Structure 1
Amino acid sequence: MENRLKNELMEWIKSIAIALVIALAIRAYIIEPMIVPTGSMIPTINIGDRILVNKYIYRIKPLQRGDIVVFKYPDDPSQTFVKRLIGLGGDVIEIKEGVLFINGKEYKEDYLNEPIVGNFGPYKVPEGYYFMMGDNRNNSKDSRFWVNKFVPKKYIVGKAVFRIWPLDRIGRIK
């Protein structure tokens, strides 16, 4: 009887250890939850929203303008930010009288709540780097204000893909 109990306990321990290893691997390489601490992405993502970050997607497809990206902050890589990708390598980004221009052409952004205040740029994005901006443009610490204005590819963590909290806003993030 004691031997059977010991064997069953060992099977439980092995199962829990395997499940833990799988969960840690998924979190490290595939998908990770994140709590958004600031309002820089309002109205798309609110303070306190819990989101899922797809950490694998950019291994199989390139980053695209408009993606909501989680990355290490270029001025302090110990911090993680979430912003919208606005400029790709080679792009020239400029804001004139509250209007965003990419490579000299006006870029329409239907996800903003209000026009951008001020003039910024032009900024030429180096190859292998990205220019990021929050959707809450007038209250976002983003590429316009950083010392190191561009995010290197190696600092990209993943793409914000799904909101899991609050319950009344569960769904894909666009």
Structure 2
Amino acid sequence: MSETPKDQEQKEQEQLKETVDEAEALPEADGVSVIDGKKIAREFYDWVEIFVLTIAAILLVFTFLVRIAYVDGPSMNNTLHDKETLAVSNFLYTPKQGDIVVFQSPDSDIPGGIVKRVIATEGQTVDIDFSTWTVTVDGVALDEPYVNYENGLPMRHFDVTFPVTVPENCVFVMGDNRNHSTDSRDSSIGFLDTRFIFGRVLLRITPLSKFGGVD
């Protein structure tokens, strides 16, 4: 017996229902998930919060703990070179012999400060044999592998007469490139008041090929 239009319509509805039921029963394919708008918004907010907190932390560090300085000139060759970027900190800092420091001389207009090495601190006595490049502090000759010696030439002598004793709250500084550095050997700088020290050089930032600490 042939199907009536009503029977055919009922059959089509039953087939459609079976198809829907089968689709709902299918397991979720691997790697495919339903997009949850609230979850995405929540994750986005978390990332934004982390980013903002990170930037805030960096700003706090560079405002209160670290500052940026730039090497100006050849006076610290071959330890540091012209135009290099440095990270400097004075947090809980007391100058020590051998530290590389950045300071602002009262008579200097160099915007990024001056970079030199601390040779002696308050109460210590400095003497220099310019012919042999020998620096002594409290009678002990310093081992200075960082100095850029110029063979056959004496160390440059300025107008300060040696030996000298470093006054209270001051340090005696020199550049590693001794014959191309104006420093505490010159009365225009002389003993450096520690109040003018921005801080100790923590690391070299640029060039990136030399990123890291400095000695």
* TM-score (ref. length: structure 2): 0.65
Could you say which residue in structure 2 is the equivalent of 1:8? Answer: none
Q: Percent identity?
A: 31
> C-alpha root-mean-square deviation of aligned residues, in Å?
2.4
Residue 129 in 1 paired to residue 164 in 2? no
Q: CA-to-partner distance for each residue in 1:20-76, whole Å, 9 max, x for gaps?
A: 775554323211122211111111110111111123140xxx321000011121434
Could you say which residue in structure 2 is the equivalent of 1:81? Answer: 114
Alignment partners' CA distance in 2, 1:23 and 1:170: 18
Q: Which runs of 5+ in 1 are unaligned?
A: 1-11
After TM superposition, the runs of 4+ consecutive aligned structure 1 residues lying more than 2 A away are 18-28, 74-79
Could you say which residue in structure 1 is the equivalent of 2:81? Answer: 46
User: What's the secondary structure of 1:171's corresponding residue?
Assistant: coil
Within 5 Å, which residues of 2 pair with 1:95-106?
95-96=128-129, 97=131, 98-106=133-141
Alignment partners' CA distance in 2, 1:144 and 1:33: 27
**Distance apart, 1:107 and its partner CA:** 1.2
* TM-score (ref. length: structure 1): 0.78
**Distance apart, 1:147 and its partner CA:** 2.8
Within 5 Å, which residues of 2 pair with 1:1-174?
23-58=58-93, 62-76=94-108, 80-96=113-129, 97=131, 98-114=133-149, 117-118=155-156, 121-174=162-215
User: What's the secondary structure of 1:95's corresponding residue?
Assistant: strand
Letter in 1 for 2:200: K
Higher strand share: 1
- Sort the Cα spacing of 1:91 and 1:142 in 2 relative to 1 into closer, same or farther, 3 A: same
Mean Cα deviation higher: 46-55 or 72-81: 72-81
Larger radius of gyration: 2
* Count of residue pairs brought into register by the alignment: 157
